[in-house]
C-alpha cells in the first residue's frame, strides 16, 4: 500500500462545552473529553485506513488544564505511526479565551486503533511517512510506546525493548 502523510488523516473537531457536560465546578468532565477525543481520533484512523476502526487502547492521559463551561474546544487528531493493522493517533486539545481569542494547549492524548473488515477481522493499513519535525518526533516516540505497551502486556521481555530500556539504563 502507498504511504500516506499525517496531514491526510488530520481531523479537526471544534465545538462548545455545553452545561450537560460539566462537573460541579462548571468544567468539562474528563470523561466527556475522553469521548470527544475518541471520536476525533477514530475519524483520523478511518481517514488513514479507509476501514472501520475500533479503539484498541488509550495511552496515559494527563488532564493539566480545566476546560470551563462555554469554552470553544478544538480537538485535533492525526496519525503518528501506522503498524501492520494498528494505528497510533496523536491528539492535541486547544481551548480559546473568550475575550482575547488566545488559543492555549489544554491536553494531549494518544489512542491506538485497529482497522477491521466488516466481520471485525484486523486488516492491513497503509504505512505512514512523517513530514514535519514534530511529526517525525511523534513517529519515533510511537515505537517506544509500542514497546512499553508490549512489555506491560507481557508480550515482550523488557530486555528486548531496546529503545525503552535505554531510557532507564542511561543513568544507571
Q: Which of 3, 7, 84, 120 binds a copy of itself (CB under 8 A)?
A: 120
Q: How many CB atoms lie within 10 A of CB 3?
A: 11
* Site for a copy of itself contains 137 (CB under 8 A): no
Q: Which is nearer to a copy of itself, 19 or 133 (CB)?
A: 19
* Site for a copy of itself contains 101 (CB under 8 A): yes
Task: Write down the least CB distance from residue 39 to a copy of itself, Å.
Answer: 6
How would you label 142-153 residue by residue, b for 16+ Cβ within 10 Å and e otherwise? Answer: bbbbbbbbbbee
* Site for a copy of itself contains 25 (CB under 8 A): yes
* Site for a copy of itself contains 3 (CB under 8 A): no
d(CA 143, CA 82): 10
> In terms of C-beta density within 10 A (0-12 exposed, 13-18 middle, 19 or more buried), how is residue 48 classed?
buried
Q: How many CA atoms lie within 13 A of 145 on its CB side?
A: 22
DSSP 12-48: EEEEEPPGGGB-TTSBB-HHHHHHHHHHHHHHHHHHH
Size, binding site for a copy of itself by CB under 8 A: 67
* Site for a copy of itself contains 154 (CB under 8 A): no
Task: Write down the least CB distance from residue 144 to a copy of itself, Å.
Answer: 11
Task: Write down the least CB distance from residue 19 to a copy of itself, Å.
Answer: 5
d(CA 169, CA 81): 26
DSSP 137-161: HHHHHHHHHHHHHHHHTTSS-GGG-
* Site for a copy of itself contains 42 (CB under 8 A): yes
* Site for a copy of itself contains 65 (CB under 8 A): no
* Site for a copy of itself contains 158 (CB under 8 A): yes
- Chain residues in the site for a copy of itself (CB under 8 A): 11-16, 18-20, 22-25, 27, 29-32, 34-40, 42-43, 46-47, 50, 52, 54-63, 66, 70, 72, 96, 98-101, 111, 116, 118, 120, 149, 152-153, 157-159, 164-165, 167-172
Amino acid at each position: 500500500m502507498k504511504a500516506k502523510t499525517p496531514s491526510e488523516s488530520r481531523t479537526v473537531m471544534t465545538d462548545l462545552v455545553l452545561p450537560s457536560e460539566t462537573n460541579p465546578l462548571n468544567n468539562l468532565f474528563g470523561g466527556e473529553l475522553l469521548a470527544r477525543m475518541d471520536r476525533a481520533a477514530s475519524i483520523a484512523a478511518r481517514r488513514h485506513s479507509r476501514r472501520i476502526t475500533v479503539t484498541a487502547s488509550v495511552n496515559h492521559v494527563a488532564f493539566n488544564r480545566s476546560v470551563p463551561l462555554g469554552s470553544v474546544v478544538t480537538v485535533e487528531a492525526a496519525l503518528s505511526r501506522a503498524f501492520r493493522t494498528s494505528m497510533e493517533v496523536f491528539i492535541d486539545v486547544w481551548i480559546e479565551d473568550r475575550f482575547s481569542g488566545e488559543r492555549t494547549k489544554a491536553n494531549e492524548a494518544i489512542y491506538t486503533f485497529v482497522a477491521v473488515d466488516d466481520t471485525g477481522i484486523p486488516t492491513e493499513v497503509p504505512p505512514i511517512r512523517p513530514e514535519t519535525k514534530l511529526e517525525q518526533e511523534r513517529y519515533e516516540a510511537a515505537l517506544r510506546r509500542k514497546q512499553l505497551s508490549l512489555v506491560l502486556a507481557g508480550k515482550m521481555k523488557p530486555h528486548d525493548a531496546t529503545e525503552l530500556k535505554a531510557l532507564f539504563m542511561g543513568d544507571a
